Amino acid sequence: MEQQDQRNFILFLVIAVVFMLGYQTFIIEPQVAEREAAQEQAKVEQTEAERIAPSVPLAPTVEAALAQDKRLVFDSPALDGTIRLRGAVIDDLNLKEYYQTIDRVAEVRLLRPEASEFGYYGGWNWLNEEGTTLTGFDDEWTLIEGDRLTPTRSVTLQIERSNVRISRQISLDENFMFTVQDTLTNLGSSPRQLRAYGAIRRHGDDSGFLEATTPGANRDRGLVHLGIVGILNGKLEKLNFKKIKKGEDVSASSEEGGWIGLTDKYWLGALIPQQDQHFTARTEHRTRLADAYTEVRTIGTELLIGPGDTITATNQLFAGAKSVSVLRGYEQSLGIDRFDDAIDWGLLYFLTKPFFTALSWLAAKLGSFGLGILAFVVIIKIILFPLYNKSYAAMAQMKLLAEPMKEIQERFAADPQRKQQEIMKLYKEKKANPLAGCLPILFTIPVFFALYKVLFVTIEMRHDSFAWLSDLSAPDPTAIGNLFGLLPFAAESVKSIPLLGFIIGIGILPILYGVTMFILQNISTPPADPMQRRILMMLPLVFTFVFGGLASGLVLYWVWNNVLSIGQQYYIMRKNGVETELDKFLAKRFGKAEGGGEA
């Protein structure tokens, strides 16, 4: 290595180390400190709450809370759990097809009894003429027919209150939808005006609930909407948990159709009132003693029941995974407006939705989302082929002009204005456009962010494996520190080491990205300015660490995109008679010496 190259290499290493130290000092450590401060504050608040209300007992376990009431069992291919007969509340629900971790041991428990920690439950009741509850979450229902709720067997409950008898038939489909059909009979001598009242409540801190439901969910909560979501009058309504705690709420009405609920990254609890009737929706955050809960509720239109008359009303409750095919299926079969917008598609929804559709189709045809991502890159490359060809041809032309431009810069170094005029004259004579090589970036950046959103928010990629990647929605599970799995300790342990873990916790895929980016740079035209060249030299290393924390499916996309770009760009450069930096490197290392003999 020549002396100048040695200096450049040392400078490169110094800059890289400074970058990593700065990243650790100014980004990683403040985030860790912020999390620790939040945890300490939560402990202080909990201690203060216990001091103010020492009589509030600790919440019982889920199992203990379940044992406090009479219950009705339900079971389907997607769900299992129980319904509390007191209040006819759905408050015990497990997702049979989804697990907390890739070990596939513990199922995701979505709904929990009110008495347990992080209670999460919902149900349908009725309001009387005064707006107070005719039936509520504490009223006991009687099981009249059926002993077990399944997709092929409904159950019937019954209750009588204030001269009104309500017979409730509950049914459950193959996925995540409970249908509640109430038959109301006026047993009195006066007309009654009643309204259906639906409510979903979640108790406790949302961060604690997320961690209890899906371990690790708090790490990336800032990148996806968590909180209230719904469609009211055709408009998407959203409010995150942070704003809910500050007292903000959603209060709106819907003339016909719509829904509202509580959303997590992958899970949803939603109320779907009778779709052919007007209803109002309201959200609220309440605190009582040491407990706090967020409530989503809907109130239907008034239903008039004459003496001795009977009417029937049908409402629904969704509790489950935000599977795109399931949500869209309900849109079509039940007429639920924009139900797939429970997924946070982001600002680029016009790209993320079709991207997901394309990826899903490719994954179904090829057998995995990993292969689907590789095929998706090829399709994008084919679509943008003319644009990329034009761009690479422009870059090849600019590379041919490198020597004449260098001559102009040296000749007119003391006259910047004349230098610029001569360069523009050269561009005009050779019909070169220096901006043409940047055109693909205008399309690549939106594609990158849209695909990132798709991989991050859709549950279909969760725990889907490909090659050594155990979860395409999570970062590469390998690490330099354990020799990519050869040493007998987990990569997660390596990545958790302060400062050092940031360096030796990088996996195979981010390293491949850095290597392919370096090769791609050496095919492209290098900047004339030495400082710009040094900065570009550093970028592959910088992006290796940046990509180390991204979803492996996204990095897989980018590595394969780089590989195809290398082949395409190299071919066009050679076709135009341009010797690339890669050619020079290969010739220097493996080619012929100046005298014609072998090096």
Q: Is residue 241 part of a domain?
A: yes
- What is the torsion angle, in degrees rounded to the nearest 10, for the CA atoms of residue 225, residue 231, residue 235 and residue 237? -40
CA angle 454–23–566, rounded 5-degree value: 55
Same domain for 337 and 305? yes
Same domain for 296 and 160? yes
Q: What does DSSP assign to residue 219?
A: G
Give the tens place of pLDDT for each residue, 539-577. Answer: 888 888 888 888 888 899 989 989 998 888 787 777 766
Quick one: pLDDT at residue 7? 45
Same domain for 295 and 397? no
Cβ contact 203:118 at 8 Å = yes
Quick one: pLDDT at residue 48? 47
CA angle 535–444–225, rounded 5-degree value: 100
User: What is the average pLDDT across 512-528?
Assistant: 79
Query: Which SS3 state, helix, strand or coil, does residue 85 take?
Result: coil
Q: Is residue 350 part of a domain?
A: no
Mean pLDDT, all residues of the chain: 83
CA distance 74 to 82: 6
Quick one: pLDDT at residue 217? 74
Could you give the percent of the chain with pLDDT greater than 90? 45
Q: Whole-prediction pTM value?
A: 0.80
Same domain for 521 and 445? yes
Give the tens place of pLDDT for each residue, 170-197. Answer: 999 999 999 999 999 999 999 999 999 9
Give the tens place of pLDDT for each residue, 265-303. Answer: 999 999 999 999 999 999 999 887 667 899 999 999 999
Same domain for 534 and 409? yes
End-of-domain residue from the set 314, 342, 370: 342
Same domain for 337 and 367? no
Phi/psi at 429 (nearest 5 deg)?
-65, -40
Is 205 or 203 the better-scoring residue by pLDDT?
Answer: 203
Same domain for 147 and 24? no
Q: In the predicted model, is pLDDT for residue 476 greater than 90?
A: no
Q: In the predicted model, is pLDDT for residue 113 greater than 90?
A: yes
Q: Is residue 544 part of a domain?
A: yes
Q: Is residue 348 part of a domain?
A: no
CA distance 504 to 514: 15
Q: Is residue 60 part of a domain?
A: no
Tokens 């079709």: give the residue.
354
Quick one: pLDDT at residue 140? 96
Quick one: pLDDT at residue 220? 67
Q: Is residue 488 part of a domain?
A: no
Residue 524 CB contacts under 8 Å (≥ 6 apart), including other chains = 395, 437, 569
End-of-domain residue from the set 289, 316, 342: 342
Quick one: pLDDT at residue 588? 75
Q: In the predicted model, is pLDDT for residue 595 greater than 50?
A: no
Q: Is residue 496 part of a domain?
A: no
Quick one: pLDDT at residue 378? 92
Determine the distance from the C-alpha atom of residue 416 to the mean position of all C-alpha atoms in its chain, rounded to a whole number.
Answer: 50
DSSP 323-362: -HHHHHHHHHHH--TTGGGGS---TTHHHHHHHHHHHHHH
Same domain for 166 and 189? yes
Query: Which SS3 state, helix, strand or coil, does residue 382 take?
Result: helix
Confidence of residue 9 (pLDDT cuts 50, 70, 90): very low
- Position 242, amino acid: K
310-321 sheet: strands from edge to edge: 142-145, 155-161, 164-172, 177-186, 310-321, 267-272, 258-263, 227-232, 235-240
Could you give the percent of the chain with pLDDT greater than 70? 81
Quick one: pLDDT at residue 441? 63
Give the tens place of pLDDT for each residue, 493-514. Answer: 777 777 777 778 888 999 999 9
How many independent structural domains does the chain possess? 3
Q: In the predicted model, is pLDDT for residue 307 greater than 70?
A: yes
User: What is the average pLDDT across 235-263?
Assistant: 91
Q: Is residue 489 part of a domain?
A: no
Same domain for 282 and 194? yes
User: What is the average pLDDT across 366-380?
Assistant: 92
User: What is the average pLDDT across 531-537?
Assistant: 71
Handedness of CA 397, 399, 401, 405 (dihedral sign): positive
Quick one: pLDDT at residue 315? 97
Quick one: pLDDT at residue 4? 40
Same domain for 233 and 151? yes
Confidence of residue 105 (pLDDT cuts 50, 70, 90): confident
- Per-residue burial over 343-367, b if 16 or more Cβ lie within 10 Å, else e, is bbbbebeebbbebbebbbebbeeee
What's 98's domain CATH number? 2.70.98.90
Per the DSSP assignment, residues forming a β-bridge with 316 are 179, 272
Is 314 or 439 the better-scoring residue by pLDDT?
Answer: 314
CA angle 456–458–464, rounded 5-degree value: 85
Give the tens place of pLDDT for each residue, 45-81. Answer: 444 444 444 444 567 889 999 999 999 999 999 999 9
Domain enclosing residue 16, as ranges: 1-53
Same domain for 561 and 527? yes
Give the tens place of pLDDT for each residue, 434-465. Answer: 655 566 666 777 887 888 888 888 998 888 88
Same domain for 85 and 1? no
Confidence of residue 399 (pLDDT cuts 50, 70, 90): low
